[in-house]
Structures are given as structure tokens and as C-alpha cells.
């Protein structure tokens, strides 16, 4: 039988926190209102994706078996709300109606989960070929998924109320897109106008603006900045956060309204953080209030049932 897991915040983070409070189960949790800088995930969980709220609630997906873990950002307490199918849960996004869209990695699928009940509302096969369905972004009419193994995106229709439709479409990437030999399309977001998509190529380090109607990709002029190992992305206004996983860094870019140009204004590195809350191969990013939250996938650490995993909280200063 699969376990339900209750975790909590670490008491000693190298920063001043309020005293910890013992719970009825004997697990120690931070008192309400602390918003810890480090949130513990279940041992052996192997996180990759994150989705937020509304409100101070986050969901994380397991690469090991696809479980979905819900956490209070305020207390650090959490529980598994949906047992996985035995295939990965990687990039994720939630909508205002409490639906969670989950990229299925090597399974070539996408799942839509009700965060209130944990029920799987839909399970879509996006491709039957070799693939790694890696990340997802939601627009008013669609959920767009990247494939790191193939130069193409997948569209899952969304109805007027945001409910998942039945139609799925494959959109080949054309124009200036260069696939390369390693991981290709990874993180995905929208442009500041919302009229196009932004996709990062992990291997080449290039960022592209993609026309969602045609798949034509145009390289974004970043003034020479490279985004190699680019993973999850988050756009807030004209600020784009790009997680660069194995170099333990978040690149902070300022975009033009069209998304065709951008400049690097700041980097957030492991060296900026206390050792107790630092990065260990962060993969994706979400924002709540004035802070970013990043799960640490720890790709360079052997994954065992007792390997510890955590989420790092950092300030989301956009730079100038």
C-alpha cells in the first residue's frame, strides 16, 4: 500500500525563525505564519514540477511514480493527494478552477487532476513515439506542452470555463528552431502580450518565440546571454525567470512586449543562499507574493528511498 506522507519544515535553517511546535503525530512543524525558506518533501520523492494556488498552496510531481504532493507554503505541512500511474509527473500548471495539468515525461501523456479530490479528470495520449513531455503553460483556450525529444509542441484544448477538451494537436517547430542532439524544448511560457509562446532549448541555450498558429520559431535576441541547461520558466509581467538546473542558477530576464528581445538583469545563484536552504539542481519555479519557490531535483545525487528532497524559497527581485 502506498503511504500518505506528512512532512514539515526544518527547524534549523541558519536564519531566525519562531520556535517549532510539535504536532499530534509527533512530527515537528513550523508555527502558522512563518513561510519557511526550506520546505521538506518526502524522502525518495524525486520532485521536478511545481504549481501554485491560488493561495499559499503548492503541488509537486514525482519523477519516480507520478504521485502529486500538496504542501502549505505557510506551514510546510503536506500530503499526497493523488497517487501516480507509475510514470513520471514533471512540469505542472494549475488553473483557477483547481485543475492541475501535468506533463507525463517519457509516457508521452498529459494528465488533468482535480486538486480538491485527487481524481484524474482526463488522461491524454499526446504521442506514441519516442518522447519526453516536459513542461506546460496554460492560455485561455489551450494547454501547451513541450517535448524535449522531438521538435514539436502539443496542444490540449480548453473550454470556455477552462475545462479540458478532447482535442489534442501536434504542432511541429519550424522557422529558426534548432533541435540539437540533446534535450531540446524544455520550459515554456507566454510572451508579455500573451499572443505567442516562449520556449527554451536546454542544450543550445537559445530562447525562441513561437507562433502558436503555425509553429514558426524566431530566436529571441538576448544580447549574447546563454540559457544552457534551461529548465522551467515563469513569466511575471515582462520579467522572465529561467531555471538553469545543473548550474544551480536562475536567470532573470527583462523582455520586450513582443518577446522578441530581452536582456539579462540578474542571476540568482546557490552562492546567494544559506547552505541549509541552497539549491541542489532546481528544475522549475513558481511565485507566491514576493518569493520564488523551486524544488530541488538533485539529479547528481543517487536516488534512493531515503534520499532527502526539499523546496527552496528565495526573494523574487526582478533587477533593473
pLDDT tens-place string over residues 101-129 = 999 999 999 999 999 999 999 999 999 99
pLDDT digits (tens, 9 = 90+) for 185-233: 999 999 999 999 999 999 999 999 999 999 999 999 999 999 999 999 9
Beta strands 164-172 and 174-175, pairing class: unpaired
pLDDT band at 178 (very low <50, low <70, confident <90, very high): very high
Mean pLDDT, residues 234-245 taken together: 97
The residue to which cell 519562531 is assigned: 18
The H or E element spanning position 22 is strand 21-22
**C-alpha grid cell, residue 132:** 519526453
The H or E element spanning position 32 is none
> 52: how many CB neighbours lie within 10 A of its CB?
18
Mean pLDDT, residues 27-40 taken together: 67
The predicted model scores a pTM of: 0.88
Identify the bridge partners of residue 103 per DSSP, sorted by sequence position.
Answer: 110
pLDDT band at 34 (very low <50, low <70, confident <90, very high): confident
Return the minimum-mean-pLDDT range out of 18-22, 100-104, 252-256, 286-290: 18-22
pLDDT of residue 166: 87
Statement: residue 13 has pLDDT above 90 = no
Instruction: Give yes or no for a contact between 240 and 253, defined as CB atoms under 8 angstroms apart.
Output: yes
* Longest distance between any two alpha carbons in the chain, whole Å: 59
Residue bearing the bigger pLDDT, 166 or 268: 268
pLDDT of residue 7: 35
Distance CA 108, CA 91 (A): 13
Which distant-in-sequence residues (6+ apart) come within 8 Å of 89 by Cβ? 48, 49, 61, 62, 63, 66, 67, 68, 102, 103, 104, 105, 111
Mean pLDDT, residues 65-72 taken together: 98
pLDDT digits (tens, 9 = 90+) for 301-320: 999 999 999 999 999 975 44
Which distant-in-sequence residues (6+ apart) come within 8 Å of 3 by Cβ? 80
What percent of the chain lies above the pLDDT cut of 90? 82
Statement: residue 182 has pLDDT above 80 = yes
Eight-state DSSP code of residue 193: T
Average pLDDT for the chain: 89
pLDDT of residue 20: 32
> C-alpha angle 170/176/178, rounded to 5°?
75
Distance CA 151, CA 68 (A): 28
Statement: residue 156 has pLDDT above 80 = yes
Q: Which of 229, 232, 235 is nearest to 295 (CA)?
A: 232
Classify 298 as helix, strand or coil.
coil
Instruction: Give yes or no for a contact between 286 and 234, defined as CB atoms under 8 angstroms apart.
Output: yes
pLDDT of residue 33: 56
Which distant-in-sequence residues (6+ apart) come within 8 Å of 148 by Cβ? 132, 134, 183, 184, 185, 186, 202
Sheet with 92-94, strands from edge to edge, namely: 92-94, 99-103, 109-114, 120-125
What percent of the chain lies above the pLDDT cut of 70? 89
Statement: residue 28 has pLDDT above 60 = no
Identify the bridge partners of residue 240 per DSSP, sorted by sequence position.
Answer: 235, 253
Distance CA 175, CA 29 (A): 52
Distance CA 49, CA 83 (A): 15
pLDDT digits (tens, 9 = 90+) for 157-171: 998 888 888 889 999
Amino acid at each position: 500500500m502506498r503511504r500518505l506522507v506528512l512532512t514539515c519544515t526544518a527547524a534549523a535553517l541558519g536564519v531566525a525563525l519562531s520556535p517549532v511546535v510539535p504536532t499530534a503525530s509527533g512530527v515537528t512543524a513550523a508555527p502558522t505564519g512563518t513561510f519557511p525558506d526550506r520546505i521538506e518533501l518526502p524522502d525518495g520523492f524525486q520532485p521536478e514540477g511545481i504549481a501554485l494556488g491560488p493561495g499559499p498552496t503548492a503541488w509537486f510531481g514525482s519523477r519516480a511514480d507520478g504521485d502529486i504532493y500538496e504542501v502549505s507554503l505557510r506551514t510546510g505541512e503536506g500530503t499526497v493527494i493523488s497517487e501516480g500511474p507509475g510514470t513520471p509527473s514533471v512540469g505542472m500548471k494549475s488553473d483557477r478552477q483547481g485543475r492541475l495539468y501535468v506533463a507525463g515525461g517519457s509516457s508521452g501523456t498529459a494528465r488533468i487532476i482535480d486538486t480538491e479530490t485527487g481524481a484524474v479528470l482526463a488522461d491524454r495520449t499526446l504521442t506514441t513515439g519516442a518522447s519526453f513531455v516536459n513542461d506546460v503553460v496554460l492560455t485561455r483556450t489551450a494547454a501547451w506542452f513541450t517535448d524535449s525529444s522531438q521538435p514539436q509542441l502539443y496542444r490540449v484544448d480548453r473550454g470556455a470555463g477552462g475545462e479540458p477538451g478532447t482535442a489534442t494537436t501536434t504542432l511541429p517547430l519550424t522557422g529558426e528552431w534548432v533541435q540539437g542532439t540533446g534535450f531540446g524544448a524544455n520550459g515554456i511560457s507566454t510572451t508579455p502580450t500573451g499572443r505567442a509562446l516562449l520556449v527554451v532549448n536546454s542544450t543550445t541555450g537559445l530562447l525562441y518565440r513561437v507562433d502558436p498558429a503555425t509553429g514558426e520559431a524566431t530566436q529571441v535576441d538576448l544580447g549574447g546571454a546563454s540559457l544552457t541547461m534551461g529548465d522551467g520558466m515563469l513569466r511575471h509581467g515582462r520579467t522572465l525567470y529561467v531555471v538553469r538546473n545543473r548550474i544551480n542558477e536562475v536567470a532573470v530576464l527583462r523582455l520586450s512586449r513582443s518577446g522578441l528581445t530581452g536582456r539579462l538583469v540578474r542571476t540568482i545563484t546557490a552562492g546567494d543562499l544559506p547552505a541549509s536552504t541552497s539549491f541542489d539542481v532546481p528544475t522549475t519555479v513558481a511565485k507566491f507574493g514576493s518569493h520564488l519557490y523551486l524544488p530541488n531535483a538533485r539529479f547528481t545525487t543517487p536516488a534512493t528511498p531515503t534520499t532527502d528532497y526539499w523546496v527552496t524559497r528565495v526573494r523574487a527581485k526582478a533587477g533593473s
